[in-house]
Chains A and B, each alone.
Chain A
Amino acid sequence: MSAVADTHAQDHHHHGPAKGFSRWLLTTNHKDIGTMYLIFSFAMFLLGGTMAMVIRAELFQPGLQIVEPEFFNQMTTMHGLIMVFGAVMPAFVGLANWMLPLMIGAPDMALPRMNNWSFWLLPCAFLILVSTLFMSGGAPNFGWTFYAPLSTTYGPPSTTFFIFAVHIMGISSIMGAINVIATILNLRAPGMTLMKMPLFVWTWLITAFLLIAVMPVLAGVVTMMLMDINFGTSFFDASGGGDPVLFQHVFWFFGHPEVYIMILPAFGAVSHIIPAFSRKPLFGYASMVYAVGAIALLSFVVWAHHMFTVGIPIAGQLFFMYATMLIAVPTGVKVFNWVATMFRGALSFEAPMLFAVAFVILFTIGGFSGLMLAIAPADFQYHDTYFVVAHFHYVLVPGAIFGIFASAYFWLPKWTGHMYDETLAKTHFWLSFIGMNLAFFPMHFLGLAGMPRRIPDYALQFADFNMVSSIGAFMFGATQLLFLLIVVKCVKGGEKAAAKPWDGAEGLEWTLPSPPPYHSFTTPPEVK
């Protein structure tokens, strides 16, 4: 028995990856799975981005030109859902798969078969979700927040498929999170205590706990919807004694931690990149860890800041306002730490650093508008206007997406063994940076001037900034094809990358050759 197991293990080590499609379908290798997650998420980013282009094309000028309102609502809904669940979350899981074992000195993820399963559920979920576009009655059209009863009593027939897709995504995320926790807690190299873990590992550990805490809540709320739609219950139907506001409480109990799920891993990655290109250790490592912990805990008690106008009692209103404002403190600490890391370093600005610096600046702007939104009386004016759209795109696009781009450029040499084309990458950065600000900054003005969100047509006083915004959006959208080109070029060839291509970088991942062997650390490294 043991002899058989031995030869099998030997086989595995010498032969490397299987050939052909079964390599990808059956793989349990963290790098292959990571790659698949990243490719999948980029495909979803392009799909969700295409929908954003449809939205921006319709909003280019007043009047209805390109799409009808029903289809417009399907576009905003699918854009939001695909970006959140298809682009951002899987990208971070892909980065986790690739980098966690390399960073903690492990051979692979702790639960490799589950890893395979949690990836392959995703394409299934999104196939179902996207297929709703072709169903009679159209795709979900009630916003990514799918408030009842618009999504239950008044939803299109495809809503049941949407619910099924959300369930599958949820299972995938929970399994991914369990895997991350098991890997980090069990497979760290000897000597790597918790407080010596790289920050990307720390932020992912906390993110994984958030996922496990809130994905079941999401599953709960969509199940209640399913019952209302198909089995005659009235959880959210007022005419049957139900409560539409209950929906919002449950949804946002999931939804607010969800927004931190989309940003915490980016915090971690940026905390590697800024020190590397500042050639100086991260300022305030311990306070960074505590800040992330504090943000994660607070994120459970602020959900009703999305509901200031639904008429919750004043005591609740005040509690959620104060709690939300409090989040600014640990978030501020993080920003100050990044700036202090850059202060008196020896800075250079390769593409990962450019994206990371833009991350800090633009995320902070999103944080400022977040603080403004937290002031409940003022939120009565901001709520559900383009000011909110501006706010969350400032935290999601230069936050989550720029964090992902920064990570991709930072670790591409490690992944592929080649350097990417720096000139093209810098072009990608500058076009994205300009396009993004042109697209989203004017949305602040639109919101303050009174333009509601989720409308296919608008009054004439909003015309000029909408046009500017659309031009910026087209520019940002088109630029992302450049990223595809850069990555393909880098995978195919290019200057050979050293084991540690960035002179200021720190961490176990740089002790392996580029690209690393198929099985990462077969003997655990020693951490002093």
Chain B
Amino acid sequence: MRVHAKRAGALLGGLLFPAWSMADWTLNMAPGVTGTSNEIFSLHMTILWICVVIGIVVFGVMFWSIFAHRKSQGHKPANFHENTVVEILWTIIPFVILVIMAIPATATLVDMYDTAESDVDIKVTGYQWRWKYDYLDEEFGYFSNLATSKDEIYNRLDKSENYLLDVDNPLVIPVGKKVRLLVTANDVIHSWWVPAFGVKKDAIPGFINETWTRVDEPGIYRGQCTELCGKDHGFMPVVVKAVPEAEYNEWVAEQQAAAERERELTEKDWTLEELMERGEQTYATTCAACHQADGSGAPPAFPALKGSQVVLEDMDAHLDIVVNGVSGTAMQAFGGQLSEVDLAAVITYERNAWGNNTGEMVTPKEVFEYKNQE
């Protein structure tokens, strides 16, 4: 009873204050920061005004009839029911307006489809429910996960400014360069959208879609997945950080070095504690969405790992499921998504967390060998 009362109180309090103080009453599309988004914005405004004008004329005539031609005012009905000239006119005039609209729309579209001569190529892959960015020429890549905590989502903590629009690792791009995005997906269809760029492209398994953008102002730009992709569709934001070219180059060099360090980590001798620590993090970002933080899953869709036979017994079966996935289910092949270190860590973690105290561990080297056995 008391809990309910508290919840009701929190609901009522939360209802009026935090949400409203953050919110704004935005009415219209924003022009955005790229040439494309500006062109789209002006198309949007043109068609909007055309609709408003047509609306005023049509509804004007209608409201005039409603006020002036009422039976209660004693208005006597006329008896006309056709007029060829008028009917032809109101067929042709809208047609002409449409042609006028179609011209700039076509030009913008042609421009949006021109992905040639790019400076940077990035592959964007949609996963349930996060994005992966691979820098094709620079040979590194990483996942980008939602960074909003469950406590905020379930109203146990105040919501931060970028609630649901924050990620751990944003996509970083250089300003003033043509960035070509190759968009695809690993499981179901997703859609990658940054409103400020005017870029939205579906990420479809088995297809590689191309799109591009050129951002002139440095800044952080936020968007979301816009194609229903399952349970956490509302929880896979897109965040892009546009930085000056020098800063971008520095960042790329850092990433390449980090990737190199990561490869070295595979060689290192890991202890159970180290693996558990790392595994907990990997588990939270990669697996908890389905199997839950406490390993209880959400049966029957997502099995519990706590007390699971696969996890408690045969190590090879456990490796197989995590590395190769279970085809035809939401359990993906993580072999290609996670590094050997992360795979070893997460498997070790699963075998020792939540009372699964097997005491067993698997090292990155063993995972590497497993992946390359064939």
Contact = CB atoms under 8 A, between A and B. Distances in A.
A343 B189 contact: no
A383 to B, nearest CB: 6
A339 B55 contact: no
Contacts of A73: 228, 230-231, 233
Interface stretch (B73-81, B248-256, B276-284, B313-321): B73-81
Interface stretch (A215-223, A307-315, A512-520): A307-315
B112 interface: yes
B69 A372 contact: no
Contacts of B195: 381, 450
B62 A378 contact: no
A279 B69 CA distance: 11
B354 interface: no
B224 interface: yes
Interface stretch (A179-187, A344-352, A421-429, A484-492): A344-352
Contact of B224 (A309, A343, A371, A452): A452
A342 B51 contact: no
Contact of A464 (B25, B110, B210): B25
A154 B330 contact: yes
**How big is the B interface, by class?**
35 or more
A384 B37 CA distance: 17
Contact of B47 (A333, A372, A380): A372
Interface string A348-391: 10000000010011001100100110011110110111000000
A50 to B, nearest CB: 21
A318 B106 CA distance: 7
Contacts of A284: 81-82, 87
Interface in B140-194: 152-155, 159, 161-165, 187-189, 191, 193
A463 interface: yes
A378 B43 contact: yes
A149 interface: yes
A115 interface: no
Contacts of B330: 154
Contacts of B257: none
B301 interface: yes
Interface string A228-263: 000000000011001111000000000000000000
B201 interface: yes
A156 interface: yes
Contacts of B293: none
A136 B235 CA distance: 24
A516 B331 CA distance: 62
B19 A384 contact: no
Contacts of B66: 342, 347, 357
A285 B81 CA distance: 8
Nearest to B192: A309
Nearest to B19: A463
A147 B80 CA distance: 50
B108 interface: yes
Which secondary structure dominates where chain B touches chain A?
Answer: mixed
Contact of B206 (A142, A244, A371, A452): A244
B200 interface: yes
A445 B26 CA distance: 7
A375 B43 CA distance: 8
A3 interface: no
Contacts of A281: 79, 81
A166 to B, nearest CB: 18
Nearest to A376: B109
Nearest to A465: B25
A149 B188 contact: yes
B41 to A, nearest CB: 8
Given A318-B106, A333-B87, A461-B26, A342 B44 contact: no
Contact of B94 (A137, A138, A329, A383): A329
A334 to B, nearest CB: 11
Contact of A345 (B61, B69, B329): B69
A345 B72 CA distance: 12
B85 interface: no
Nearest to B15: A61
A357 B300 CA distance: 50
Interface stretch (B95-103, B258-266, B335-343, B361-369): B95-103
A346 B70 contact: yes
A461 B164 CA distance: 11
Given A143-B228, A380-B112, A336 B58 contact: yes
Contact of A460 (B19, B70, B87): B19
B215 to A, nearest CB: 16
Nearest to A243: B206
B58 A335 contact: yes
B62 A339 contact: yes
Q: Which 8 pairs, one residue from A and one from B, show the smallest C-beta to C-beta distance?
A: A238-B206, A455-B234, A311-B209, A368-B51, A460-B22, A463-B19, A384-B226, A463-B23
10 contacts: A136-B300, A239-B206, A244-B189, A244-B207, A287-B82, A339-B58, A344-B78, A344-B80, A460-B163, A461-B22
